[in-house]
Amino acid sequence: MLWHGHFKSEINMLRELILATIIFAAAFLLLFNTKLPARWKYLVLQTVTGGLLIWLLAVAWVAFSGLLAPAAGPKPVHATLEQTRVLSLLQLMHKHPRATFYVAPAGQPQTFEVKGEVADRNTNLTVIVTAYIDAADMAAMLALTNVQVGLVHPSKARTAISTVGYLTAYGAFIIGLVCLMVYVQSSAATGFRSRVFQKPDVRLANVAGIEEAKAEAMEVVQFLKNSKKLRALGGQLPRGILFVGSPGTGKTMLAKAIAAEANASFFNMSGSDFVELYAGVGARRVRKLFKKAMRHRPALIFIDEIDAIGGKRNDSQHEEHRQTINALLVAMDGFKDKTGIVVIGATNRVDDLDPALLRPGRFDRKVYLAKPDTSGRLAILKVHAKGKPIVAPEASLLALAISTFGMTGADLANLLNEAAITAVIRGVSEISTSELTYARDKVMYGRSRTMVENLTERRIIARHEAGHAVIHFTCKHLPPLYQVSILPRNQSLGSNMLLPKEDAHIQSKELLMEQLCMLMGGRAAESLCFDTITNGAAGDMSVARDITNAMVCEWGMGTEMYYEPKQPAAEAEINRILKEVLSRAIELLRERSTGVERIEQALLEREMLTGEEVRLLLEPQSPQHGQLPEAGAEKIALAA
């Protein structure tokens, strides 16, 4: 009856499990027939599947441990009969001939233990009888038919079996959890469905500022569209293309545009998606990715940050990394050009890639995505300005493109978004020049912050920035001065902002020497005015040291050529240049001490000066020499 109760409870649990599985299966069918994002579908699938597995393990644990547990029954009452009560034990045995008694050695010489269970009909209790006898009484015991010798008592057997059952159940449950972790780990081999397998809607018309790379992309599109014609002419489809460029230059967007134009399946993964703790997981993901791409031809596999798995191999690397890159090399060799699959890798650290990955036959082409020039930035701004109410868009975007040298497409998109946010905060309905300028300064130089400064510190900062501005006024090769401020931005307490009016990719020695002299202007101004030196010039000194080191050791602008870094002669040359530009800065500021004082006073009053206002204070031929217009007008304007 007790075993029947056990089986009945387990049958009920199995019924509940089957019913829940049917409900979850119906929920899955409804879920994947809805228009929810694939990311949410995948997340629900993984969560519910994991929950079902844990539930199944729990049911198995309860059922298995319950079957092996001792049967429930009346609570036994323990009674112990001593050696002197052997006669009573014999009488009890004669009285209950159906009860079975077990005799076994008790662990002491000539001593035996007798155990048995006797049911008391009056009290409905089970009496467990234990007695100890000697060898003389064994003959009387063995004469009875209900005595067995040398066996283990059933209560001990059930206890041992129950312990083994519990240990087995716990072990099975722990092993099941480990298997579940491995399953979840390996089931993410292709990541979220919405990110791995896509049909992108980005077109080449949405990609701007990288015309040379777009021309290469159009060739790949033609290869994918007309692969049969290419093979008829004896050509082969490139197996791999490597996009090399700074972050934000549009590598991912260009890859999506190629897939969309060629109407090809797009598989997008990051190099870090293949890197895991367990050896073999990354290699399995590589093989699974290529197999899936084979089923969806024509296909384009895009691996972003490929240097995470394609780095140079060495003996100190983890076994997982070596297996993953080997699997990638084999996979790129394992398909022919007729399969209609192209692999595109993206990185900004091409020097770190393994040479075996870069050879022809794997990555046949390298496409370099440079930062856009003025025309490229203007095209990017026009793309991202669609749908934004900008006042005088043609003139505003052109001026913005000219004044954002060095920005990438991602930076420009962020700039326009910051301008829109600023317009909302200011409560205006259109994005004007003021919002665009504020957003540009915030992205390029950082947001100004409030800091409590005493009068002495404000004077030191104002004198420091005035020294930079005066040195800049004497330079001929540096870009125009845009703004001088004693308002803290990011980690600096003040700033001199230069804003080039045209793109410049080559720097002459004269320009670099002027830049070094301007960097030393702040330290020189402090030493001349306060007869002391503060740590405010730490950033200037660090930049000056880096520039001078590059001039001497990399660009050959010293008195001699140094092919090895940190040579004593090279270090002496670096120190000589730094001392020379510092002396030059001190000399220039002594000659223009009046101008330094004027700019210092104006900064203490207004906290910020434009380049034009600095020119009015320093230029002797100006009609307003030494005087500024009243504050209140808009001082920040886009460079024209």
pLDDT in tens, 472-496: 999 999 999 989 999 888 778 888 9
**pLDDT at residue 74 is higher than 70:** no
CA distance 629 to 613: 9
CATH of 193-369, one of 3.40.50.2000, 3.40.50.300, 3.40.50.2300, 3.50.50.60: 3.40.50.300
Count, in order, helices (H) and strands (E) of the chain: 23, 14
Is the pLDDT assigned to residue 506 strictly greater than 90?
no
CA–CA distances in Å: residue 623 to residues 16, 427, 478, 615, 629 = 94, 39, 25, 11, 12
554 annotated active-site: no
Q: Considering only CA atoms, give the Rg of the chain.
A: 42
pLDDT at 638: 40
Residues forming beta bridges with residue 119, ordered by sequence position: 126
- Who's near 490: CB < 8 A, 6+ residues apart? 445, 446, 447
Residue with the larger pLDDT of the pair 619 and 569: 569
Class of residue 156 by CB neighbours under 10 A (exposed 0-12, middle 13-18, buried 19+): exposed
Report the SS3 class of residue 120: strand
- Contact by Cβ (8 Å): 119, 74: no
Q: What per-residue confidence (pLDDT) applies to 600?
A: 92
Which CATH number is 374-445's, of 3.40.50.1780, 1.10.8.60, 3.40.50.300, 3.30.465.10?
1.10.8.60
> What CATH architecture applies to the domain 455-618?
Up-down Bundle (1.20)
Average the pLDDT over 257-281 and give the result. 80
How do the domains of the chain map onto residue ranges? 2-68+161-190, 77-151, 193-369, 374-445, 455-618
Candidate from 157-166, 226-235, 502-511 with smallest mean pLDDT = 157-166
374-445 against 455-618: fold identical: no
Question: Tens digit of pLDDT for each residue in 111-122?
Answer: 666 666 666 666
Catalytic residue among 465, 514, 526, 613: 465
